[in-house]
Amino acid sequence: MAYEWHYDLSTDRPEAIEAFGDLYTAYALTGEHITQNSLCQVIRVELDGVGYFVKRYRRGSENTLALFATSKARREWNNLLRFGQWDIPVARLVAWGEESLLGITGTGLVITEEVAGATDLSVLANNNAVLFGDRGWVECVSQQIAAAAAIMHQYQFAHNDFHWRNILVSGSIHSPKITLIDCPSGRFWCWPFFQHRRIKDLACLDKMAKHKLSRASRLRFYRHYLGSSNMATKDKTMLDKIIHFFARRE
């Protein structure tokens, strides 16, 4: 079975270069278990004093038709590369690839560098972080997330899993920085399907925001997303759909 493999590492990281030198060596790595489901497993390894998240995809549990479609591993690394081209902050992609035979892909790997000192927004929210009581911190984080969402949607691209757990925050309380992770489901959508996906992205963000942020903060986020403090009728209509998107599912 053939495979393709890419890595992007500086020469001052010899342990990482050896560990990520080819797909099978990287796939065999052992480390701290982070998460696992039927399609993938994530472990954390530390090399040259730097942490890396190794995401191992398996194809065996997908249906026959799905085996011929673009793999989740490929979609994820393509989306990370795409976000980088769009100047959306993402975890640095350091190695990626997958095996294939006669058009059917097998195991795949996506390896990203750990963002030092970062915590995902859902963990912060569940731990009742005092950060949410700091208006300056909330405003700075809100503006960055709104900008990332606006850029994606400008290209008619929807994240499709835009929850707080997939947004990391690092830096100080006075200068926080967001980083997006985990986007294998993101894709381009044509009109009119895009509008529904756009609303879903924003509703996923608001799903937890409504429990942690004031209505005024949530409204400021939406205005940052629109790039204007003035909302037209269509903007107000969309906001109503965002707020009530999960009403019947909760």
**AA identity, residue 185:** S
CATH of the domain at 41: 3.30.200.20
Mean pLDDT computed over every residue of the chain: 91
For the segment 38-52, the average pLDDT, to the nearest whole number, is 94
- Cα–Cα distances in angstroms (integers) from residue 150 to residues 12, 20, 41, 88, 115, in the given order: 37, 34, 31, 10, 23
**Which DSSP letter does residue 104 get?**
E
In this predicted structure, what is the pLDDT of residue 10? 81
**Which DSSP letter does residue 90 get?**
B
For residues 87 and 145, state if they share a domain. no
Interatomic CA distance for residues 216 and 152, integer angstroms: 24
Q: 38: closest CA among 25, 65, 56?
A: 56
For residues 106 and 61, state if they share a domain. yes
119 has a pLDDT exceeding 90: yes
Interatomic CA distance for residues 116 and 128, integer angstroms: 21
In this predicted structure, what is the pLDDT of residue 137? 96
In this predicted structure, what is the pLDDT of residue 192? 84
Residue located via tokens 């835009």: 162
Q: What is the pLDDT of residues 68-81, one digit of tens each?
A: 578 899 999 999 99
Q: What is the pLDDT of residues 215-248, one digit of tens each?
A: 999 999 999 999 998 999 999 999 999 999 998 6
Query: How many domains would you assign to the chain?
Result: 2
For residues 35 and 81, state if they share a domain. yes
Q: What is the pLDDT of residues 14-27, one digit of tens each?
A: 999 999 999 999 99
To the nearest whole percent, how much of the chain has pLDDT over 70? 92
Q: What is the pLDDT of residues 170-187, one digit of tens each?
A: 999 999 999 999 999 999
**Side-chain half-sphere exposure of 133, counting CA atoms within 13 A:** 4
For residues 91 and 129, state if they share a domain. no
In this structure, the dihedral spanned by the alpha carbons of residues 35, 40, 42 and 43, taken in order and rounded to 10 degrees, is 110
pTM value is: 0.92
206, 163 contact by CB (below 8 A):
no
